A = this chain, B = another copy of it.
Amino acid sequence: MAGPNYLLCPSAVLSEFSAQVFMHFGVPEHDAWQASDVLSKADLRGIDSHGVARLRTYVDMFKIGRLNPNPKLKIIREKKSVATVDGDSGLGLVVGPKANEIAMEKASQYGSGWVSVCNTNHYGIASYYPLKALERDMIGWSMTNSSRIVVPLWGAERRLGTNPISIAFPGFKNPPIVIDLATSVVAFGKVEIAKREGKKIPEGWIIDQSGNHSTLPEDVYSGGLLPLGGTREMGGHKGYCLSSMVDILSCVLSGANWGPFAPPFALFEEAPKESVGKGIGHFFGAMEIEGFEDVDVFKKRIDHWIEVFRNTKPVPGRDAVLIPGDPEHEQEKVRNKEGIPVIEAVVEDLNQIARETGVPFRV
């Protein structure tokens, strides 16, 4: 949620700005708009950390030549419904949608399509891709690794990223069920917010440098985030397993840098000394609903599912049980109408990028 100091920007203004900035760095027009669309979707859905707030980092990476502005994706290996794709060191916001497109094309032809991607970079919000699959009446899956911040259960060293999993299912009259979850117990951003506000964090979120649990947010910088579940008692081994699954499908399968070897997204993060593959990795899946069931029958069943779960008696102190994707859907409705609240620090970043690139930023 935006605090008091923010600027309300129409989504179209931010989109246009991002696209022009990408073009400034040599990204072809169509790809630039594609990349900007991924960022916009994050801002519209209220996932502020993954929208224009990230533009600064993409710009920095272009400046030091870490990103190829015009990647030629290459299918390294394939067999009908499956393939491995090399992203040619492109912007993840361009490589991701193109690789997802390959998965969906395969699904049109073979009922399902599965693509593991190497040599890519940060791809935005994981749910962007399953949302695209919904437009074709497909169930879409998406996963990605990211730079090391999460410890395995019982480990005192960072070995994994927050490695998200996303999947979405279309309703008939209802908006889709959209699942998008990091496999860490919380997002790194939540720990940072607590630090900024001088608050303690719950036990089970992080460990300190020595591997002990800590409730001091600043300890995360020398320690790490715990996997979903947190402790053994609360199922921390399960979060570790899920994060490992994402790491293996996205990276070990494609030949990307897995686990602790993932190159960092932000420039201030220390890069691993060793490389075991190319870039980071993603994994996309698409399944044609039509191959399993009549599309409308399936969508109506999803409506029924939503209705039953929404009408679950809530626990004391809560109004209702939510459906996965509800909060983001609500945000999208509001923000489409009212605009995106961009916090002051990000507005400053955008103004700075405007000065550096000559692309005007005017709200």
Interface residues of A (CB under 8 A from B): 77-84, 109-112, 114, 116, 139, 151-157, 159, 165, 167, 169, 177, 179, 181-183, 185-186, 202, 204, 207, 210-212, 228-230, 233-235, 237-242, 244-245, 247-249, 252-255, 258-260, 276, 287-293, 298, 301-302, 304-305, 308-309, 312-316, 318, 320-322, 324
**Contact A314 B156, beta carbon cutoff 8 Å:** yes
A111 and B80 contact, Cβ closer than 8 Å, known pairs A260-B308, A308-B159:
yes
Residues of chain B within 8 A (CB-CB) of A249 are 139
Q: Are B291 and A78 in contact (CB under 8 A)?
A: yes
* Cα separation A37 to B202 with both chains bound (whole Å): 44
Query: Nearest Cβ in chain B — how far from A59, in angstroms?
Result: 32
Distance (Å) between the CB of A291 and the closest chain B CB?
Answer: 3
CA distance A152 to B212 in the complex (A): 31
> With a CB–CB cut-off of 8 A, which chain B residues contact A258?
301, 305
16 inter-chain pairs at a CB distance below 8 angstroms, sorted by A residue, are A80-B109, A82-B292, A139-B253, A154-B315, A157-B312, A167-B245, A179-B241, A182-B238, A211-B314, A228-B239, A229-B229, A237-B324, A252-B302, A253-B292, A255-B293, A259-B308
The verdict on A292 contacting B77 (CB below 8 Å), with A211-B315, A315-B211 known, is: yes
User: Cβ of B298 and Cβ of A252 under 8 Å apart?
Assistant: yes
User: How far does the alpha carbon of A308 sit from the alpha carbon of B239 in the complex, in Å?
Assistant: 18
Contact B313 A157 (CB under 8 A): yes
Top 10 nearest A-B pairs by Cβ distance? A79-B291, A211-B315, A79-B111, A82-B111, A82-B291, A155-B312, A154-B318, A181-B238, A155-B321, A80-B111
Known: A181-B238, A235-B186. A313 touches B77 (CB 8 A): no
Of the candidates B179, B228, B238, the one whose C-beta lies within 8 Å of that of A244 is: B179
Residues of B within 8 A of A181 (CB): 235, 237-238, 241-242
Which residues from B are CB-within-8-Å of A84?
292-293
User: Shortest CB–CB separation between residue A256 and chain B, in angstroms?
Assistant: 10
A324 touches B244 (CB 8 A): yes
Given the interface pairs A235-B185, A253-B292, the reply to whether A155 lies near B315 with Cβ below 8 Å is yes
Q: Which of B185, B212, B289 contacts A315 (CB 8 A)?
A: B212
